[in-house]
Chains A and B, each alone.
Chain A
Amino acid sequence: MAEFLVVPVLLAYGEAAFAYAGELRGPGLAGRLATWGVRLGWLAQTVLLVGQGLSADGFPWGTWAGALNLFVWLVVGAYLIWGCTPRFRLLGLTVMPLAAVLLALAWAGGGTAFDEGDRSGVALALHAVLMLGGFAGLTLAAGMAALYLWQERRLKRHERRVLRVRMPPLDALDRLAARTVLGALAVLTLGIGVGAASFERGDFDAAMAVTLLILATYATLLVMRYEGWRGRRAALLNLTGFALVAVVLPLTHFAG
């Protein structure tokens, strides 16, 4: 049953990723096709998640693969809020390939199956959803930072096609990335709070240390904006924080 839903989602996200690449060559139809790919894929994934939620007794996304499935849905959902507008369309170029790859991984790891789920209770479910929501926001912010660096490079190198293939404006990317980080940090802090309040206290482990490091990195980013750390430096710091989220955190989390 799950395959009937996962395959269309993967196809739609994959189509969107390719179409966004096509948008780079000639803006117009490819971008619209990509947008529809994102919308339809996200709707199909919503049906998949609802199906998983209804068929499970507990929290169905407690495993790493299940969490990845939910994480992809949150990232694409957040992107859908404003990312599909023509101005920010090319942000999909950084988001959709990642979404397609991560969903394929979730599928391979069994995270899209309809099973009984984890019976760890509401607190764990809330903690997991908030943490994943926070990380989804940080992923989007990283996508914006990457796009910022790309657009800055195009402008610095005086690329001839800079006005034919239009990226989101630099200033808009900078501001939006900062706001997304602020929102994501708030959700992440709430998630950490729920986790800390609900679970039995154990030793301070590497995963917790990295999570706090992530919080500190992004908080630094926000504070330093007032000292003039905008643009390129903010984008680099943003990507550093994301490297901790994407590379270091999974290692420490699963090693622990």
Chain B
Amino acid sequence: MKLTLAGVSHHKAPIELRERVALDLDACGALAERLEGDAVVLSTCNRTEVYLVQDEYAEALAVRTLTELAGDRGDDLGAALYRLRDEAAALHLFRVAAGLDSLVPGEGEILGQVRSAYEAGWPGPFLDKLFRQALHAGRQVRLETAINESPASVPSAAAALAQQVFDDLTGRRVLVLGAGKMSEATARNLVSRGADIAVVANRTLANGEELARRLGAQAVDLDAVEQELGRADVVVSATSASGHVLAKDAVAAALRARKGRPLLLLDLAVPRDLDPAINELDGCFLYDVDDLEAVVAETLSGRRSEAARAERLVAEEADRFREWQAALDVVPTIASLRALAEEIRDSELARAGGRLSEKERRHVESVTSQILAKLLHLPTIRMKEAAAAADGVVYADVVRHLFGLGEEERRR
């Protein structure tokens, strides 16, 4: 049995091609079932991969499956398709689970996607072990490195900054200026960390109301913003206004009502919505898009340095998997050897059974069982070690020859 992986990913396949082979979770499960074997299909926005453990035709089957998915773009798939086997395939999956193969190193979503694919798939014992170990590798990397601790986008950096000011964002009121995509993405990031979007203010009230409805907030006209400032903890601004929407004096006036509570203002607009002089006010922290992008660039460089540590952890995990896989070559021999020993013991006990009392029989059974366990312990360990060092098949053949394992079956 060989592990085979065929897939396309963001490294070589453009989005037009990836979207042709992208599948939702149910479709992944159905496809894995249709492949009739040890099969898991992983499909995310960055990749679609088929993992198979079958005979020598597995690779062709996996490639054919992806080509069929691509439909009339199947011919374009060839250059973007990658095929990996055994150790290389296992290492690839471990890297994927750890987020090392992602566009943003260490992104957190992929681990859940690998888990979902595993749960939806049809893994046999081999893929079961492989995916469980991949999930373990992913968790270890996130636990032992800081690869996913830093934000990788402007909206997530904005939310992380809010946590640096306010700690827990639960119940913190957010005032959103503008109803565009940037405002919404940042607001959603804040909501995911517990903040409440209290008010959405927009020049065109209808657009503001639409966003407010989606965020569960109240919509107001942009002119009413100054009244809301006193109650807000975070201001997210991304309007298309040509001048400043908020001046220093207006914020200074609102601060008096805040009784020393800090105010974080995130200006994501170009040209800027908020007067830069606001940052001079005591208790006010104003970040514009350049400041946030600089923070993101710095955290991404941190992620890359952590990625080197993560690669080492993943390589260690892949080594362990290789040892386990290699040990599979000798497992049947070990099982046969133990079965033979057990068979001899049983037959000898049966022959001596009539001459022994019940108490003596139990004692002899216990002693012979211990002798067998001790006698076979070292050969078992040595065979597994040899398997890990690629000599496993040779050792297995020698043991089979020495003990005549399988000869009985052959004679029959």
Apart from A155-B285, A158-B287, A164-B302, what 6 extra A-B contacts exist at CB < 8 Å? Answer: A163-B157, A164-B299, A169-B165, A225-B260, A231-B283, A233-B260
Q: Give A167's nearest chain B residue, CB to CB.
A: B164
**A166-182 at interface with B (beta carbon < 8 Å):** 166-167, 169-172
At the interface, yes or no: B123 with Cβ under 8 Å from chain A?
Answer: no
| 5 closest cross-chain pairs (CB), A and B | A230-B260, A228-B259, A169-B167, A228-B260, A160-B298
Asked if A232 and B299 sit within 8 Å, CB to CB, the answer is: no
**A139-166 at interface with B (beta carbon < 8 Å):** 151, 155-156, 158, 160-164, 166
We find that the number of chain B residues with CB closer than 8 angstroms to chain A is 30
At the interface, yes or no: A27 with Cβ under 8 Å from chain B?
Answer: yes
Asked if B164 and A160 sit within 8 Å, CB to CB, the answer is: no
Report the separation of the CA atoms of residues A75 and B287 in the bound assembly, to the nearest whole angstrom.
Answer: 37
Some 15 contacts from A to B, beta carbons below 8 A apart, are A27-B146, A28-B145, A28-B146, A155-B285, A161-B298, A162-B161, A163-B150, A163-B151, A163-B157, A163-B164, A166-B164, A229-B260, A230-B259, A231-B262, A231-B283
At the interface, yes or no: A200 with Cβ under 8 Å from chain B?
Answer: no
Asked if B165 and A171 sit within 8 Å, CB to CB, the answer is: yes
We find that the number of chain A residues with CB closer than 8 angstroms to chain B is 27
Asked if B161 and A163 sit within 8 Å, CB to CB, the answer is: yes
Closest approach, in angstroms, between the C-beta of B32 and any C-beta of chain A?
38
**Using Cβ atoms and an 8 Å threshold, which residues of chain A touch B167?**
169-172
Asked if B165 and A155 sit within 8 Å, CB to CB, the answer is: yes
Interchain Cβ contacts within 8 Å, total number: 72
Asked if B260 and A231 sit within 8 Å, CB to CB, the answer is: yes
At the interface, yes or no: A227 with Cβ under 8 Å from chain B?
Answer: yes
**Using Cβ atoms and an 8 Å threshold, which residues of chain A touch B145?**
28
Report the separation of the CA atoms of residues A162 and B264 in the bound assembly, to the nearest whole angstrom.
Answer: 15
Report the separation of the CA atoms of residues A168 and B128 in the bound assembly, to the nearest whole angstrom.
Answer: 41
Interface residues of B (CB under 8 A from A): 145-146, 150-151, 157, 160-161, 163-167, 258-262, 279, 282-283, 285, 287, 291, 294-295, 297-299, 302, 305
**Using Cβ atoms and an 8 Å threshold, which residues of chain A touch B258?**
228
Q: Give B298's nearest chain A residue, CB to CB.
A: A160
Closest approach, in angstroms, between the C-beta of A144 and any C-beta of chain B?
13
Asked if B285 and A232 sit within 8 Å, CB to CB, the answer is: no
Report the separation of the CA atoms of residues A169 and B302 in the bound assembly, to the nearest whole angstrom.
Answer: 20
Asked if A155 and B164 sit within 8 Å, CB to CB, the answer is: yes
**Using Cβ atoms and an 8 Å threshold, which residues of chain B touch A156?**
279, 285
Given contacts A171-B167, A232-B283, contact A164 B259 (CB under 8 A): no
Which of A151, A163, A167 is packed against the most chain B CB atoms within 10 Å?
A: A163
Asked if A158 and B262 sit within 8 Å, CB to CB, the answer is: no
Asked if A170 and B262 sit within 8 Å, CB to CB, the answer is: yes
Report the separation of the CA atoms of residues A112 and B285 in the bound assembly, to the nearest whole angstrom.
Answer: 47
Closest approach, in angstroms, between the C-beta of B192 and any C-beta of chain A?
17
Given contacts A163-B299, A164-B302, A169-B167, contact A232 B151 (CB under 8 A): no
Asked if A169 and B146 sit within 8 Å, CB to CB, the answer is: no
Q: Give A234's nearest chain B residue, CB to CB.
A: B260
Asked if A170 and B164 sit within 8 Å, CB to CB, the answer is: yes
Q: Give B284's nearest chain A residue, CB to CB.
A: A156
Closest approach, in angstroms, between the C-beta of A66 and any C-beta of chain B?
39
Q: Which of A158, A167, A170 makes the CB contact (< 8 A) with B291?
A: A158
Asked if A160 and B262 sit within 8 Å, CB to CB, the answer is: no
Report the separation of the CA atoms of residues A231 and B165 in the bound assembly, to the nearest whole angstrom.
Answer: 11
Closest approach, in angstroms, between the C-beta of B166 and any C-beta of chain A?
5
Report the separation of the CA atoms of residues A227 and B259 in the bound assembly, to the nearest whole angstrom.
Answer: 7
Asked if A231 and B282 sit within 8 Å, CB to CB, the answer is: yes
**Using Cβ atoms and an 8 Å threshold, which residues of chain B touch A158?**
287, 291, 294-295
Q: Give A165's nearest chain B residue, CB to CB.
A: B302
Asked if A164 and B282 sit within 8 Å, CB to CB, the answer is: no
**Using Cβ atoms and an 8 Å threshold, which residues of chain B touch A234?**
260
Q: Which of A160, A170, A232 makes the CB contact (< 8 A) with B165?
A: A170
Q: Digitize A222-249: 1 where CB-to-B-CB distance is under 8 Å, 0 elsewhere.
A: 0001011111111000000000000000
